Amino acid sequence: MSTDESQYRAHGDGPEKKRRRVGTVRRPLSCTECKRRKTKCSSLGMTPCASCVQRGKPDECRWESISGTGEAVIQPAEQSFALAAEVETLKQQLHELYDYVHHGTSSSRGQSYPATSPPDHTPAAYRNHDRASPMSGQVALISATDVDRRLESSVSVLESLVDKEERLMHNAAKTLPNNAGIRPTRLPLALDPTTRGEVVLDSVYAILPERVLAMRLTRSYFQGALQLGWHILHESLFMQEEHDFYALEPNTQRSETDPAWIAVYLMVLALAIHEMDPREVEILFPLYNTEEVSRLSTALHQASVLALEVADCDSVPQIRHLQAALLYVPFLLHFGSGDGDRNKGLRHVVEAINTAQWLNLDQLDLSRVPMHDAAFRKCSPRVAFELCKRWFHMLSFLDGVAWKSPGHWKLAEAAARASATQLPRNLNDEDLDDDDAQERPFTEVTHASIPRIGSLLALHTRVFVKDLPHGGLMSYENILKSDATLKAVLDQCPCPLRPIPGKLCNWMQITVYSSINYRFLRLHRPYMARGYVDEEYKLSTKCSIHSAKNIIECQQIMMECPHLRPGFCKQWILGAALVLTVDLVISIDLTLSEHSQSQINCPSISSKRLYVTHALEIFRQVFPEDRTPRVTAQCCKIIEGLLVAVDERMHTHSEGLRPKGDLQDFFDGVSAGLVARRNETNNHNQLFEIAPDMSMLEFFINENQERETQDTQDMLGAWDDMFKDVLGRELNNGPIDTSRMA
């Protein structure tokens, strides 16, 4: 025996000893066609492989079964795309290591490569091995043996890992529907129609909180003020659906759950977080920083929109689309951050109305209830009927009041659509399960109150506004007719002015009540001032003052929960303060002109001034959720300017003097004072915060404008124009002169 042979045998690794094999059954490295051609596949396990595709024969690409197991190679059609990239990387590494072990170690022993083996797969260290400087044979053989053992071990570990991952993917693939036709694609997965749904749902489910936290948020939502005022979901039905969802195994939740329900669920979580104190949210989500917590509700809303996309609500009308869209309304319209959110909310409303009409909810009776819908799987026809009526009339309400132009109404034909589906019965959710439940009186607030009152208000708007010319005014005869109809609507609305102590504030009841009173202001404002000198218009004066006081009282109640006050309510408060200021100024001139000393502390005047002061207190309330603080500051400056001018007028009377000018001069003086304060601020190079954006007051000029920032014309010019109109000039006699009234 030679010295080299003795050294080999000393280490137990002589030439005559067969190299030990890895115990793991090895998968074929080439398809049958590449094996026949004695070439190596460029895509391990892919069908068809890249080589067969290049040869133009993808259909001939086959992979042999694993020897001794009979188990076919798992095709990509059975794989989940979530792990495909990782497995392909592991396979490529396994392929390279296999060549490294079997080709590299063979060359070190003097064996030659097969003719078909690509030389560039051989590591550089092994290509240079034969050219290395002479060294001790023992050291060289020990190193080669050690490398060989470690590489064999690595191959074994990697093969085991690949087998495990493929088994996991094979099991996961069984739970994925309609994946038989999936093939590897070069398209981005989020844009490929065959994979987008799964990719989107990955993100949607990734943002879901863990079970205990999610269920806590759900309870918080149903116990909170948002659900109380904007009642969309039947609580017991939804809680049962949530229970059923979490009763599923985590790996089957996605395949067994309607994506439209997930869309609704995400909005429940978003609104619950939106209503919570940010500090409480940070405690519930300790892994999120403050900035992420502030964006969490918006992220949940965005996930809800994506879930609706996966549910294919654009092509398949579904009840849960209505539920989700109605939950978007408070998030975007009532508590949104600007015109962008408002426009998004209106688009959701339009799409929901289309879905409702598609489901025939605009011509609904008990026989037409869509009981086939997944939302009614555990619902009786009678309960489903009442819920459908609520949702449709909520949409009818939004259609009538959200759009200011008749051309945008989707339900303009009131007789054919909005009134064809009867109003929901005035019942609570728990009453719906009782076949013998009696309808509650209209003065009692129920879960159906807002759809009922809102739809009646929208119907009134359509009837009396659709024939009104743009920018035109009603005749006084039509104003009286509209007033009578609007009072009938107000009688159906439970009065919120006497809240029950300790009970949650019903913000939507207050908002609807204020909205109706604000419509009285808009209806009677052209004739309000005339009622002081002409008995024919006395009704307009009284109705305007009464409605303005109702608005102020309602919004004082909302000071308990100012974060629930929609931003558009600010113009109602400011409009009410303006009406009460007009009444206060005229009352001062009429009462104090002849009895300045004895009537200076007249209770009537003090009471009128107090209401204007209450309006100022509402705007002075500071809270972090105020989404338009600059508008709030402007409103404060306007009312402060009005009160200063009123006090100066009272002081002039107390001195036995007669104020100069009439009402128009009074408001001109207020404008001049605000201009002076604005100029003073600008001269000191300070941030301009006090000059009012008077475009927000154009609702008092134009019957068809109601947005608080509709126009961008000169703010002080709009201020002057507004007061010229609001004072109700006589058509032929110029401005009203309060000296005549005295």
For 42-67, the pLDDT digits (tens) are 666 677 787 787 777 777 888 776 44
What's the CA dihedral at 161, 162, 163, 164 to 10 degrees?
50
CA 450, chain centre distance (Å): 21
Helix axes 538-557, 603-620, angle to 10 degrees: 40
pTM value is: 0.69
Size (the chain), residues: 742
Ranges 87-101, 167-181, 286-300: which has the least confidence: 167-181
Record the tokens describing residue 180, joined without a space: 């038989």
Find out whether 701 and 721 touch, Cβ atoms under 8 Å.
Answer: yes
Q: Is the pLDDT of residue 179 over 90?
A: no
Ranges 406-415, 532-541, 654-663: which has the least confidence: 406-415
Q: Is the pLDDT of residue 201 over 50?
A: yes
Q: Is the pLDDT of residue 696 over 60?
A: no
Residue type, 295: R
- Is the preceding omega at residue 48 within 30 degrees of 0, hence cis? yes
Task: Name the pLDDT band for 257 (thresholds 50, 70, 90).
Answer: very high
pLDDT of residue 72: 43
Record the tokens describing residue 563, joined without a space: 């974060």
pLDDT of residue 9: 47
Find out whether 448 and 390 touch, Cβ atoms under 8 Å.
Answer: yes
Q: Is the pLDDT of residue 683 over 70?
A: no
Ranges 138-147, 680-689, 694-703, 730-739: which has the least confidence: 730-739
Query: Exposure pattern of 154-190 as b/e (b: 16+ CB <10 Å)?
Result: ebeebbeebeebbeebeeebeebeebeebeeeeeebe
Beta carbons within 8 Å of 388's beta carbon, 6+ residues apart: 319, 359, 361, 364, 369, 370
Q: Residue holding tokens 């493929």? A: 166
Q: How far apart are CA 318 and CA 241, in angstroms?
A: 16
Ranges 52-61, 530-539, 606-615: which has the least confidence: 52-61
Q: Residue holding tokens 């759009």? A: 403
> What is the DSSP secondary-structure string of 682-720?
HHTT----SS--GGGGGGGT-TT---TT---S-HHHHHH
Q: Is the pLDDT of residue 418 over 60?
A: no
pLDDT of residue 595: 56
Sign of the CA dihedral running 307, 309, 315, 321: positive
pLDDT of residue 409: 78
Q: How far apart are CA 309 and CA 314, in angstroms?
A: 8
Q: Is the pLDDT of residue 115 over 70?
A: no
Write a three-state SS string for 477-495: HHHHHHHHHHHHHHHHCCC
Q: Is the pLDDT of residue 508 over 60?
A: yes
Find out whether 525 and 726 touch, Cβ atoms under 8 Å.
Answer: yes
Task: Name the pLDDT band for 685 (thresholds 50, 70, 90).
Answer: very low
Record the tokens describing residue 86, joined without a space: 């990782």
**Average pLDDT, stretch 268-279?**
95
Q: Is 178 left (phi over 0), alpha (psi -120 to 50) or beta?
A: left
End-to-end CA distance of the chain: 138
Helix axes 569-592, 663-683, angle to 10 degrees: 120
pLDDT of residue 589: 82
3-state secondary structure of 208: coil
Q: How far apart are CA 551 and CA 147, in angstroms?
A: 86
Residue 141 backbone dihedrals phi, psi, to 5 degrees: -70, -35
Q: Is the pLDDT of residue 628 over 90?
A: no
The mean pLDDT of the chain is: 76
544 vs 650 pLDDT, higher one: 544
700 vs 641 pLDDT, higher one: 641
Beta carbons within 8 Å of 529's beta carbon, 6+ residues apart: 541, 582, 586, 663, 726, 727, 728, 736
**Average pLDDT, stretch 435-457?**
93
Q: How many CB atoms lie within 10 A of CB 532?
A: 20
Find out whether 584 and 732 touch, Cβ atoms under 8 Å.
Answer: no
**Average pLDDT, stretch 524-530?**
88
Find out whether 708 and 570 touch, Cβ atoms under 8 Å.
Answer: yes
287-345 pLDDT tens trace: 999 999 999 999 999 999 999 999 999 999 999 999 999 999 999 988 888 888 999 99
Q: Is the pLDDT of residue 90 over 60?
A: yes
Record the tokens describing residue 189, joined without a space: 């997965």
pLDDT of residue 110: 38
**Average pLDDT, stretch 582-599?**
72
pLDDT of residue 102: 61
CA 483, chain centre distance (Å): 36
Residue 734 backbone dihedrals phi, psi, to 5 degrees: 75, -165
Q: Is the pLDDT of residue 488 over 90?
A: yes
Task: Name the pLDDT band for 616 (thresholds 50, 70, 90).
Answer: very high
Record the tokens describing residue 132, joined without a space: 């290395």
Residue 295 backbone dihedrals phi, psi, to 5 degrees: -100, 0
Q: Summarize the chain as % helix, strand, coil (round to 5).
A: 65, 0, 35
Give the CA distances from residue 361 to residues 151, 369, 387, 398, in Å, rounded to whole numbers and listed in that order: 70, 8, 11, 15
**Average pLDDT, stretch 342-353?**
93
Q: How far apart are CA 9 and CA 17, in angstroms?
A: 9
Type and span of the H or E element at 451: helix 449-465
Q: Which of 83, 79, 64 is nearest to 25 (CA)?
A: 64
- What DSSP designation does 525 have? G
Q: Is the pLDDT of residue 666 over 70?
A: yes
Task: Name the pLDDT band for 556 (thresholds 50, 70, 90).
Answer: very high
CA 68, chain centre distance (Å): 57
Q: Which of 610, 506, 502 is nearest to 565 (CA)?
A: 506
Among 107-111, 196-200, 553-557, top mean pLDDT goes to 553-557
413 vs 224 pLDDT, higher one: 224
Q: How far apart are CA 361 and CA 388, in angstroms?
A: 7
pLDDT of residue 163: 66
Q: Residue holding tokens 């309510």? A: 569
Helix axes 663-683, 629-654, angle to 10 degrees: 130
